[in-house]
Amino acid sequence: MTQLTPHSSDPADELKQSDGGDHDANLITFLRQHAPPVPEVSIDAEARLMAAIAQQETTTKPSRTPRSRLMIAAGCSVFVYALWQLFQVMMPPRQPVGELAELENFWFQNWDGVANAENNSPFLSENDSSTDAVPGQAQKSINHPPSP
């Protein structure tokens, strides 16, 4: 069995020595010394890559530049703003809360008058001259059916 105790002056190895001890440093040095060399790049590799990229360019749409992205973002903002404006126009205006409360109060106060219109209506009173012409007709139209 071969006992290998390589020594290296590489500062990185010293760091590893402190990290994992001599045990690891020996292993790392052995790996570095005997790692298979990186194969040489073939002469036409770069040309083939650039040709492949050029082919990609023709088949796919061109990538967006920052300027076009900005324009798209601005267009989207304008579109959203226009939509919001349209929404505002289409929606009926809202009454203020105070006004609504006042209206509700008015309805409550006058509800009896609306429900019992037969008694209160100035148009259907007995003294009303418009009902005098055909007595009983107006009276009939507003009479409720007899309660059982």
Partner 1 sequence: MQVMTANTFAPPPSDAELIRDCQCGKPDAFRELYRRHQKSVRAMLQHLCDPAMLEDLVQEVFIKAWKGLPKMRGTAQFSTWLYRIAWNVGADYRRKMAQQRQRTQQQEMMYDLADNAPHALLHLHHQDIVSRGLQHISPDHAIVIILHDLQDMPQADIAEILKIPTGTVKSRLFHARQTLRQFFHQEGISL
Give the shortest CB-8-to-partner 1 separation in angstroms.
Answer: 12
DSSP labels, 32-84: HHHSPPPPPPPTTHHHHHHHHHHHHHHHSPPPPPHHHHHHHHHHHHHHHHHHH
Q: What are phi and psi of 137, to 5 degrees?
A: -70, -50
Give the shortest CB-70-to-partner 1 separation in angstroms.
Answer: 13
Give the shortest CB-23-to-partner 1 separation in angstroms.
Answer: 8
**Looking at beta carbons only, is 31 or 91 nearer to partner 1?**
31
Give the whole-angstrom CA distance, residue 148 versus residue 141: 19
User: Which residues 115-144 are close enough to bind partner 1 by CB under 8 A?
Assistant: none
Report if residue 70 touches partner 1, rule: CB under 8 A. Answer: no
Report if residue 43 touches partner 1, rule: CB under 8 A. Answer: no
Among 7, 36, 89, 109, binds partner 1 (CB under 8 A): 36
Report if residue 57 touches partner 1, rule: CB under 8 A. Answer: yes
Give the whole-angstrom CA distance, residue 56 versus residue 44: 18
Report if residue 56 touches partner 1, rule: CB under 8 A. Answer: yes
Q: Residue 118: count other Cβ atoms within 10 Å of its Cβ.
A: 13
Spell out the residues 6+ positions from residue 5 whose beta carbon is closer than 8 angstroms to its own: 26
Binding site for partner 1 (CB under 8 A): 1-4, 12, 16, 20, 23-24, 26-28, 30-36, 38-39, 41-42, 45-46, 48-50, 52-54, 56-57, 62-66
